[in-house]
Amino acid sequence: MVGIAASYFAMLMDRAQDLFDLWIRPHRFLPLLLSPLIFAICVWVTRTYAPAARGSGIPQVIAARIHRDTKTRKRLIGMRVALIKIVLVLLAIFAGAAVGREGPTVQIGAAIMLWGAARTGLSGQRGVVLAGAAAGIAAAFNTPLAGIVFAIEEMARAFEQRNSSIVLIAIVLAGAASMSILGSYDYFGYTSAALPLSRCWEAVFFIGIAGGIMGGLFARCLTHGEPFLRNRMKQFGWRQPVLFAAACGLGVALIGLASGGITYGSGYAMGHGLLHGHVDATWWQMPAKLVATILSAISGIPGGIFSPSLSVGASLGATLAPLFPTTPLQGAILLAMAAYFAGVTQAPITAFVIVLEITGNAADAVPLIAAAVIAAGIGRLFCPMSLYHALARGFMAEKPVSTPDPDPASTP
């Protein structure tokens, strides 16, 4: 079920992106109206019906694993929350928001597994939630190894041996279901870039530092930027979250308009194009996509940061590549993708495994590991606690919000 849900969610995301592109092609100023309106609608629906559907979804799953109360778990990762999240993420993409589907797929996977455990009487809900999250990553990226590493490094932080079997089984079944629908593919397309350390060590070192700085600053903005902006915008602050979301949507639309539309959406097309030479690299792509992603993330709409982060990393690598003439362009982009992602999440193993698997390039493991480890260390200077665990604290501290009665069938 997780694999099937992830596959059809991916296809629906592509359709929503295509529809948005079709609408704005003859009406390039349409996002100035469309984005603020849909951002506001998404936040209103989220706050009214499913507060736990906002943002990425990974912090909610981390909080659900920590909580031992089944009602709290249901509030954070219930099936009702997952269904609302799917609809609102698709709506956000149709608004041009710089969000991805991978983080939401983690929450959806955990919700499906928890629901299934309740229906079948399976015990050990914390292990089931972990398995669902790992299966979600594996199916979203078609990366089974990344699912395993993500479960150990990011989700659990203290992996219980007794959960290993259920995690592996969930990843295998989710991956098999996903590949039966979407086929076997490399998420970002196969690359054959070679990165011998003897010629590329300078690029590894400096791109690792740059990725750590930018990723750490991004994480800092996500953990501290929203309260800061809300406190500065008094009439658009905590008392007016819908208007605040509309203002963020307007900012995303203006950036998209100024960039010729390249910053709209998850960033997959931008990252893939840079990696394979279909998109020309310019210095403004990285900061433009970075700011659009920050505005989308702090607005309160549902949506993940995996794909946008890989896109920002790709543009960072393309920008820095001319500084390292002995390093191939594709190699610099791969290094920056791993480094930036590690700087954001402080999960270096997950970062380099994802980059290896989504590009089908296993020959560059050592340079990617080195860049990711450097970046994770630098990122920790800007954001001492890992991003997802810092955001999970907010969900741990929240009191349940009164919402319409959920479907009894979704009760764990």
pLDDT tens per residue across span 54-101: 999 999 999 998 887 788 888 999 999 999 999 999 999 999 999 999
Beta bridge partners of 55: 302
More confident: 226 or 400: 226
User: 197-394 belongs to which CATH class?
Assistant: mainly alpha
pLDDT confidence bin for 193, thresholds 50/70/90 = low
pLDDT confidence bin for 374, thresholds 50/70/90 = very high
Helix (H/G/I), strand (E/B), else coil: 304: strand
Query: Which pLDDT value is given to residue 139?
Result: 86
Highest mean pLDDT among 133-137, 277-281, 338-342, 353-357: 338-342
Query: Which pLDDT value is given to residue 405?
Result: 37
Helix (H/G/I), strand (E/B), else coil: 55: strand
Query: Which pLDDT value is given to residue 275?
Result: 85
CA 149 vs CA 154, 168, 349: distances in Å: 8, 11, 7
Q: Fold identical between 2-184 and 197-394? A: yes
Residue 239: partners with Cβ closer than 8 Å, 6 or more residues away = none
CA 294 vs CA 236, 263, 309: distances in Å: 17, 12, 10
DSSP alpha helix (H) spans, 143-284? 144-150, 164-182, 197-232, 241-258, 268-275
- pLDDT tens-digit series, residues 336-364: 999 999 999 998 988 888 888 888 766 67
- pLDDT tens-digit series, residues 19-49: 999 999 999 999 999 999 999 999 999 999 9
Helix (H/G/I), strand (E/B), else coil: 302: strand
List the one residue out of 380, 267, 345 whose CA is nearest residue 59: 345
CA 39 vs CA 22, 94, 221, 222, 244: distances in Å: 19, 10, 19, 17, 9
User: Using CA atoms, how far apart are residues 195 and 212, in angstroms rounded to an integer?
Assistant: 20
List the one residue out of 2, 109, 107 whose CA is nearest residue 61: 107
CB 333 within 8 A of CB 303: no
Whole-model pTM: value is 0.87
List the one residue out of 385, 348, 42 whose CA is nearest residue 224: 385
Q: Mean pLDDT, the chain, as a whole number?
A: 86
Q: Give 302's Cβ-side CA count (13 Å radius).
A: 34
Domain boundary assignment for the chain: 2-184, 197-394
Spacing of C-alpha 131 from chain mean position: 18
User: Using CA atoms, how far apart are residues 74 and 403, in angstroms rounded to an integer?
Assistant: 13
Region at 160 (left for phi over 0; alpha for psi -120 to 50; beta for the rest): beta
CB 64 within 8 A of CB 76: yes
Fold of 2-184: Clc chloride channel (1.10.3080)
